[in-house]
Structure 1
Amino acid sequence: MKTSMVAVLLSLSGAIVVPAAFAQTPVKLGIVQATSGGSAALYGTMQKNGAELAIEEVNGSGQLPGYKLVGLHQDDGGDRGQSVNIFQRLINQEKVAVILGPTLATSAFAADPLAQKAGVPVIASSNTAPGITDMGDYIFRTSPPEGQVFPGVLAYVKKKSAPKTAAQIYGIDDTLMKSAYAVHKKALESEGIKIIATETFQKGDVDYSAQLTKIKAANPDLIVIGGLAEETANIVRQARQLGIPASTQILGANAAISTKLAELAGAAAEGFTVGSGWFIQYDSPKNKAFVEAYRKKYNSDPDNFAAQAYTSVYIVADAVKRAGGVSDLKKLRDAIAATKDLEANNGSFAFDANREPAVAPKVLVMKGGKFTLAAD
Structure 2
Amino acid sequence: MNRTTPAALALCAIAALVAPAGAATKGPAAGKTVHVGVIADVTGAAGVYGTPQKNAYELANEDIKSGKIDAGGATLTFDVQDAASDGAQVVNLMQKFITDGSTAIVLGPTLSGEAFKAFPLAARANFPAMGTSTTAEGVTAIGPTIYRDALAESQVIPTTVKRTKDKWHYKTAAIIYGDDNAFTKTDGDIFAREFKAAGVDVVDTETFHQKDTDFQAALTRIEGKKPDVIAIGALFPEATKIIAQAGKLGIKTRMIGGNGLNSPEMYSVAGPAAQGAVVGAAWYSGAKYASNLAFVKSYTAKYGKGPDQFAAQAYAAAQIVAYFVAHGATTKDDMIGALKNVRVIQTVLGPIGFDPNRDVKSSPVILSIVKDGFAYFR
TM-score, normalised on structure 2? Answer: 0.89
* Residue 352 of structure 2 corresponds to residue 349 of structure 1: yes
* Residue 235 of structure 2 corresponds to residue 228 of structure 1: yes
Q: Is contact 1:64-1:321 (8 Å) kept?
A: yes
- Rounded to whole Å, the distance in 2 between the matches of 1:80 and 1:339 is 31
Which of residues 112, 117, 137 in structure 1 aligns to 2:119?
112
3-state DSSP class of the match of 1:258?
coil
* Residue 343 of structure 2 corresponds to residue 340 of structure 1: yes
1:23-34 equivalence runs, <5 A = 24-34=31-41
- Rounded to whole Å, the distance in 2 between the matches of 1:213 and 1:23 is 62
Q: Is contact 1:315-1:339 (8 Å) kept?
A: no
Residue matched to 1:305: 310
The one-character-per-residue Cα deviations of 1:198-229 (angstroms, maximum 9, x if unpaired) are 11111111111111111111111010001012
3-state DSSP class of the match of 1:282?
coil
Which of residues 203, 210, 213 in structure 2 aligns to 1:196?
203
After the TM superposition, which parts of structure 1 deviate over 3 Å for at least 4 consecutive aligned residues?
A: none
Which of residues 22, 29, 53 in structure 2 aligns to 1:47?
53
Residue matched to 1:142: 149
1:79-90 equivalence runs, <5 A = 79-90=86-97
3-state DSSP class of the match of 1:64?
coil
Residue matched to 2:105: 98
Task: Please list every run of 5 or more consecutive structure 1 residues that lacks an aligned counterpart in the other structure.
Answer: 1-21
3-state DSSP class of the match of 1:350?
strand
Give the stretch that moved more between structures: 288-297 or 252-261: 252-261
RMSD: 1.7
Q: Is contact 1:130-1:179 (8 Å) kept?
A: yes
Q: Is contact 1:34-1:41 (8 Å) kept?
A: yes
Q: Is contact 2:130-2:147 (8 Å) kept?
A: yes
- Rounded to whole Å, the distance in 2 between the matches of 1:338 and 1:293 is 31
Which of residues 267, 286, 293 in structure 2 aligns to 1:288?
293
Amino acid paired to 2:367: L
Q: In the TM superposition, what is the alpha-carbon distance from 1:367 to its structure 2 partner?
A: 2.5
3-state DSSP class of the match of 1:173?
coil
* Residue 366 of structure 2 corresponds to residue 363 of structure 1: yes
- Rounded to whole Å, the distance in 2 between the matches of 1:23 and 1:338 is 21
Q: In the TM superposition, what is the alpha-carbon distance from 1:94 to its structure 2 partner?
A: 5.5
Residue matched to 1:37: 44
Cα 1:119/1:66, change in 2 over 3 Å = farther
Amino acid paired to 1:243: G
Q: In the TM superposition, what is the alpha-carbon distance from 1:304 to its structure 2 partner?
A: 0.5
Q: Is contact 1:115-1:122 (8 Å) kept?
A: yes
3-state DSSP class of the match of 2:246?
helix
Q: Is contact 2:34-2:76 (8 Å) kept?
A: yes
- Rounded to whole Å, the distance in 1 between the matches of 2:72 and 2:341 is 21
Residue matched to 1:14: none
Amino acid paired to 2:329: G
Amino acid paired to 1:218: K
3-state DSSP class of the match of 2:271?
helix
Q: In the TM superposition, what is the alpha-carbon distance from 1:141 to its structure 2 partner?
A: 0.5
* Residue 261 of structure 2 corresponds to residue 256 of structure 1: yes
Give the stretch that moved more between structures: 63-72 or 25-34: 63-72
Q: In the TM superposition, what is the alpha-carbon distance from 1:90 to its structure 2 partner?
A: 1.3
3-state DSSP class of the match of 1:207?
coil
Give the stretch that moved more between structures: 268-277 or 57-66: 57-66
3-state DSSP class of the match of 1:213?
helix
Task: Please list every run of 5 or more consecutive structure 2 residues that lacks an aligned counterpart in the other structure.
Answer: 1-28
TM-score, normalised on structure 1? Answer: 0.90
* Residue 173 of structure 2 corresponds to residue 184 of structure 1: no
Q: In the TM superposition, what is the alpha-carbon distance from 1:187 to its structure 2 partner?
A: 0.5
Q: Is contact 1:51-1:312 (8 Å) kept?
A: no
